[in-house]
Amino acid sequence: MTGTVAYEVGDGVATLTLNRPERLNTITPELARDVLDAVTRANDDDAVHAMRLRGAGRVFCAGYDIDWGARMMEEAESGRPWDPMADLRNMSRFVFDTYMALWRSPKPVIAQVHGFCVGGGTDFALCSDLIVCAEDARIGYPPARVWGSPTTAMWTYRLGLERSKRLLLTGDPLDGRTAVEWGLASECHPEAELDDKAMALCRRVALLPSNQLHMMKVLVNQTIEQMGLNTTQLIGTLLDGAARHTPEGAAFSQAALQDVRAAVRDRDAPFGDYGQEPR
């Protein structure tokens, strides 16, 4: 156990479990650092050929801890003008240090997604190599409605133009079955079977030599990087800061300081999907 991330190894697979179930595994600087440490630990272990990333409790990851994010904005700025480049430096620690550690890892990462995988939680999944999800999982980016832009910019690379716009122009989620149909995930299963099914795929991947896995991953990832991944991530991260400082974004942040649930309810109520559980 490393702080907010549980770690275990078996059958050539390191299992990293986001372990803030009481906060729906929401992302804080501590959790981001612990994920990075666990990925480094797995890559340093010759017995590990692949990693599995999952969440404890009833969801995979419900995005950034909005309560922490709103307080961070208030404390960092406290009446001072917004500095977009300071914001870029702060958010880049999550994007390039943590999420892209999954992308750059020589050893493949399989994300096991159940319950909610939303907001920043999708960055964990989309920067992994493969996604195996529950049939009733809900995967999406509701901050597209207000207060956020996907910093890793992976949606278009993984889904293409039409489908990434369909999600980002509405903030609507996909369920697990649709995620497989659209090519976002490799497999979906009933949640009761998900742990076994995801581990079975991890074990199958782990049968390959580590050097061969690294070669195949580099080959595929270079295709995406040659399409301009670094540039779109820079733009996405800058726009994320801008989205939090629009009139609507600032109002959302102030509302979240008073009552996070009410702020999210007011954002999502017009879309008719506030409080919907995975189904």
> Using one digit for the tens of pLDDT, what is the confidence trace for 112-154?
999 999 999 999 999 999 999 999 999 999 999 999 999 999 9
- Rounded mean pLDDT of 199-226? 98
- CATH 2.30.110.10 matches 5-271: no
Report field, pTM of the whole predicted structure over 0.85:
yes
How far is Cα 150 from Cα 85, in angstroms, rounded to an integer? 17
The residue among 70 and 44 whose pLDDT is bigger is 44
- Rounded mean pLDDT of 183-191? 98
- Rounded mean pLDDT of 168-178? 98
Q: What percent of the chain shows pLDDT beyond 90?
A: 91
- The pLDDT of residue 101 is 97
Structural domain boundaries in the chain: 5-271
- The pLDDT of residue 2 is 66
- The pLDDT of residue 67 is 85
DSSP bridge partners of 131: 111
